[in-house]
Amino acid sequence: MIGIYNILIGLIVPILLGWIFVRKISIYISNVDIFSQIAFSFLTGIGILNLIFTLNLTLGYNFSRILAFIILGITILHTILWIRNITLINLKISFFNFIKEITQNKFILATFAVMFITIIFSANWPVRDWDSIALYDFRAKIFAEGSRIENLQSDIKDIYYYRYYFVYPYLTSIAHAWSYIFHASTPLPIYAGFYSSILLLLLSLSLHRSRLGLKSLIRTNKIVYAIPLIAALTPQILSHSGIAYTNLPYATYFLAAIFPLIVFPNNSTSYFLSLFMLVSSTLTRFTEPFYLSIIAVLVYKTIKNKQYLMTILYPTILYIVRKLWMAYVVFGDELAISAIPKVISSFNLNFFMEVETYLLKHYTVNITIPLFIMLTIVFIDWIKNRKLSIEFMIFWIINLGILFMGGYFFAVQMETWKEIGGSAERMVLAFIPMLYLWSIYFFSISKS
């Protein structure tokens, strides 16, 4: 029973909270099927909790238990009213259609089986690993007691250790605190929720290609259906579903930010959904500038469709959110920007090759299989059509530049750069779901 309660608080309630907004959004985005609705509901629910409580804390207030109960009350009330408006016949039809979609293919059924097992496992597993306990979960327990990290400043004499608690934004800690306030014994079902959201988005694309106006290659349906299962069993993704780190939440929001831009209609609702997902990713992991690739894809699409207001609005809102967080933690990009002339003037080709060789080894160690799958499918598509998606090229060119040029920039600045191998390997976890998403996308748009 304790495990069921943990799932209810950490997974089901955020889905129901997000559903308040996603059900309105789905009116304007016809392609939002049940799988993507569940995924975006969970991600929106956690994102809303984070925005509300981050604002509460950064404005100088203590973490509010009363506010948490108000949010829970609103969620329960909306759920009751929503259920009252659904007829029993419609409920049965929706349920049987859902079961039909799950059981129509053995790969899909296996994906859901892995997802279900992961959720059950998470319900009874404690928080472990160093940063999880010392940083994310520690902050959560402070928040759940109705306090703030700033209240500990007099007890932490070393400013370096004090600043350690502000290196990462609060999203995962707030999600943990949400569970603890309602006396859940573990917050790990939240991470099973992020894991499941990745799989649901991949399943959404693989199952509903015809609805999206996409066409599959002849005899490739089974391969397309197999990709979500491969993603579910990818060790780096599966292992992080039981680890309270920021990598998996960031990867999920990053995936969810590009999804509306390449799958949903080109309208303001799709763009704002993408923006909210990207804002949530920024408030999960702050320093990686991968968000620039999403902005570039958005700018390309909005200019192409003459939606100039969104071209300006989307990056402006993200910039404001980043600046507000930087103002709170007294941390900015100015130091890195000011070092650019030094890095350029001291460029050394031999050192550059040494750094890039080192980075390539660590970047690829965990993404070999998804990278091979995507490159194979992209190559097949290019052979057949002699062209590639502009969005695809924009996205990957920018991110490859960030990975390799950013790595070199860091190496020039830091003498300890050879110690970042493990961090580099975890950082590219954000691209594993992306590789699978683009694989399904190119399988789907290829002409038979």
CA dihedral (178, 180, 182, 186) in degrees, to 10, reads 100
Is the pLDDT reported for residue 181 higher than 80?
yes
Report the pLDDT value the prediction gives residue 105, as an integer from 0 to 100. Answer: 82
Report the pLDDT value the prediction gives residue 89, as an integer from 0 to 100. Answer: 67
Alpha helices in 213-307 (DSSP H): 221-233, 235-240, 247-263, 268-282, 291-304
- For the ranges 7-21, 31-45, 173-187, 324-338, the lowest mean pLDDT is seen at 324-338
- For the ranges 151-165, 264-278, 313-327, 359-373, the lowest mean pLDDT is seen at 151-165
Report the pLDDT value the prediction gives residue 70, as an integer from 0 to 100. Answer: 97
Distance of CA 390 to the CA centre of its chain: 23
Distance CA 63, CA 149 (A): 10
CA dihedral (201, 205, 208, 210) in degrees, to 10, reads 160
Is the pLDDT reported for residue 448 higher than 80?
no
Q: Which residues contact 51 (CB under 8 A, 6 or more apart)?
A: 279, 283
Distance CA 360, CA 363 (A): 5
- Ordered DSSP codes for 186-216: --THHHHHHHHHHHHHHHHHHH-TTTTT--P
| Alpha carbon distances (Å) from 339 to 63, 335, 344, 345, 414 | 37, 6, 9, 10, 12
Mean pLDDT of 334-354: 73
Task: Kindly indicate the confidence band of residue 155, based on its pLDDT and cuts at 50, 70 and 90.
Answer: confident
According to DSSP, residue 135 is labeled I
According to DSSP, residue 166 is labeled T
According to DSSP, residue 414 is labeled -
Mean pLDDT of 34-40: 93
Q: What is the pLDDT of residues 55-99, one digit of tens each?
A: 999 999 989 899 999 999 999 999 999 888 776 667 777 777 778
**Which of 39-43, 320-324, 442-446 shows the highest mean pLDDT?**
39-43
On whether the CB atoms of residues 270 and 35 are closer than 8 A, the answer is no
| Residue 42 structure tokens | 């969970």
Query: How many helices (H) does the chain have, and how many strands (E)?
Result: 24, 0
Is the pLDDT reported for residue 405 higher than 60?
yes
| Alpha carbon distances (Å) from 432 to 124, 212, 228, 429 | 27, 23, 12, 5
On whether the CB atoms of residues 289 and 328 are closer than 8 A, the answer is no
Q: Which tops the pLDDT comparison, 374 or 223?
A: 374
